[in-house]
Structure formats: C-alpha cells, structure tokens
C-alpha cells in the first residue's frame, strides 16, 4: 500500500504551530539571556569594587576619584589606579614609567593600552562601542562604568547644606584630588554607592544618539582623571565637563533619558560627554546596576527616588535611607 504524505494544508498547519511555539518561547529565552548579561554586569562591578577595597587594604585609603598633575596637567583616573588589583598589573607597569614625561591624556602614555580589551570594564548589555579610537596606535577600551563622586542639589533638592547647585560633587567616596579612608564613610559602607553604570547612549535634547554617556571621555579615555587641582572637600565645585573624566555626580534620577529630549530642569546640569552630572544610564531594560563600598551590587530602577539615590551617593550626611 502506498504511503500517504502530508498534504499542503497539514504542512502549513505544522509550520504555523511551530511558529507559535517559537513565538511563545522567544521572550523567555531573551529574558534568560538578559538575566545572564545583567549577572555578568554585576560581576564586573564587583571586580571594580574588589579593586577599590584591595587598594584601600594596601594604601590605607581609597584611590583618588581623579587626580591632576600640577597646574592643568592630566593625572590618572580611579580606573587606572585599581588596575594592579584587577589582574591588570602588567598593563599598569607598562604605563607608570611613562608618566614622568607624559600627561595621562597623551597618546604616548596610552600606547601600552592599545587594543587591550578589558572585559570587566564592559557591560555585556551595552549598545555602545567597546573601544574608542584616539589614534591609529591608541584604541582603548571604552568603560561602561563611572565612579560616584557624590551628589549636587540640581534636579530635586537634597536637604544637605554642603551641596551647591551645579558642578562636580565632592561628598562621595571617589572624588577629585582626594584619597579617602573607609572611616570617612560614616553612613556605612553598605549605604554608599561608589560605582554606577554609564552604558547607554546619551540623547541630547531633540537629537539622535550621537554622544557617549557621562563617565568616560571620547578624548580622554579610561586612564585619565582630571586636569584641575581643585579639592572638593565634601562640597560641590563648579568644575566643567572638560575638567573631569570617568566620574559621575548624582543630580538626577536614573535613566532620565527618554530619547526624545530632556526632562524638566535637565538643562541646568553639566550633561555631556564627560558630563559631571549626566544621569546613570544602562542598557538593561530593568534598571541600572550599582556597586556599594562594602562590595555588594544592586539593581536600581528609574522608580528609585532621586533623594534616595543622592543620599546613597553621599558618604556622611547622616540621613537614614529607607528601603531601596
């Protein structure tokens, strides 16, 4: 007896059923992949936090958030300072001898870091390019994370008399030209954010995504810190975008970037590449991963009250922070 094959209708029905099953499973697969990427992002931040803690164990203080070299000379960033404690000592040892004759924004000093893709600096969910090309011989990792220098009074005001409107915060643990001990974190290491994501495009008001986010600089790279010798000393200083790289000051809520323009009062802050007050932004749909001084990481959403975020950025304001 001749075997009967599928009719065209039966074949189409089978294909349709398979398509429906794939459509049902795809969101679950994508969610699982994003959860894995978010976990990897958290592990990256934990490595950065471990670098800060090991630096403190060695030198009895945290690294400078950004350091200058004399008058208008670019010094190193906190990201560079912790490289020996993040399994990048070989790279650190190649750059350090060059600092005697070169600033940290100089191409010659950055040559040893050429094409060195430092994975713990990169969020796997970030849509941003993983590298920045400065010259043909200086293509550097473009980090997804910025150090938290503190908070300022822009956006929603924080009851904190030391905070001025605008500029770079000096009330956090990674501040320009200062190296703080854990003892300075009087609010407790579990209540102080020191690292946050800067891993999504910054949309200028009404513009296309033509710029990177705050914490790093297109023209400075991850090794450079600041070219000003200003010491914030717990207050906010009127430092412009051009003065500091790889640091972020909390002035606005997380993810305040609706891709169609600025939110109310956004224009009052220094928001740009190297923007000292650009909001923390993330490629994760659920929120932004942040790291605390005690070493734990936590996902913060856009619904996190900005006052809560500011209090977590300030190391010693004495305010009780509720559930977050």
Closest CA to 227 of 77, 28, 32, 20: 77
Q: Which tokens in the block code for residue 183?
A: 């003892």
Query: What distances in angstroms separate CA 230 from CA 167, 219, 269, one per listed residue?
Result: 12, 21, 19
What residue segments make up the domains of the chain, in order of their start? 13-323
Work out the pLDDT band at 145, boundaries 50, 70, 90. very high
**pLDDT for 300 beyond 90:** yes
Query: What distances in angstroms separate CA 220 from CA 139, 224, 245, one per listed residue?
Result: 12, 6, 7
**What are the pLDDT digits (tens) for 47-93?**
999 999 999 999 999 999 989 887 778 899 999 999 999 999 999 99
* 290 CB burial (10 A radius; 0-12, 13-18, 19+): buried
Q: Which tokens in the block code for residue 129?
A: 């390019």
Q: What are phi and psi of 288, to 5 degrees?
A: -120, 130
Q: Which tokens in the block code for residue 282?
A: 């993330």
**Mean pLDDT score, 138-145:** 86
- Of residues 245 and 184, more confidently modeled: 184
pLDDT for position 29: 75
Work out the pLDDT band at 218, boundaries 50, 70, 90. low
pTM for the structure as a whole = 0.84
């Amino acid at each position: 007896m001749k075997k009967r094959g599928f009719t065209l209708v039966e074949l189409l029905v089978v294909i349709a059923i398979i398509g429906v099953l794939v459509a049902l499973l795809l969101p679950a697969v994508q969610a699982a992949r994003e959860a894995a990427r978010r976990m990897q992002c958290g592990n990256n931040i934990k490595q950065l936090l471990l670098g800060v803690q090991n630096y403190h164990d060695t030198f009895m203080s945290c690294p400078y958030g950004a350091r200058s070299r004399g008058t208008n000379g670019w010094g190193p960033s906190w990201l560079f300072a912790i490289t020996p404690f993040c399994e990048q000592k070989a790279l650190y040892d190649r750059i350090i001898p060059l600092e005697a004759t070169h600033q940290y924004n100089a191409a010659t000093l950055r040559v040893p870091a050429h094409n060195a893709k430092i994975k713990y600096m990169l969020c796997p969910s970030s849509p941003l390019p993983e590298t920045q090309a400065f010259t043909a011989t200086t293509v550097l990792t473009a980090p997804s994370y910025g150090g938290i220098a503190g908070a300022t009074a822009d956006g929603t005001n924080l009851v904190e008399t030391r905070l001025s409107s605008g500029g770079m915060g000096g009330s956090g643990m990674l501040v320009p030209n200062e190296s703080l001990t854990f003892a300075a974190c009087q609010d407790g290491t579990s209540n102080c954010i020191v690292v946050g994501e800067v891993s999504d495009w910054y949309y200028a008001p009404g513009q296309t995504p033509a710029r990177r986010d705050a914490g790093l600089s297109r023209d400075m790279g991850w090794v450079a810190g600041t070219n000003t010798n200003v010491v914030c000393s717990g207050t906010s200083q009127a430092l412009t975008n051009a003065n500091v790289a790889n640091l972020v000051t909390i002035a606005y809520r997380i993810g305040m970037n609706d891709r169609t323009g600025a939110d109310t009062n956004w224009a009052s802050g220094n928001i740009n590449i190297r923007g000292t007050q650009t909001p923390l932004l993330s490629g994760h749909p659920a929120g932004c991963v942040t790291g605390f001084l005690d070493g734990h990481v936590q996902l913060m959403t856009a619904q996190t009250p900005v006052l809560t975020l500011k209090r977590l950025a300030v190391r010693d304001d004495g305010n009780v922070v509720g559930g977050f």
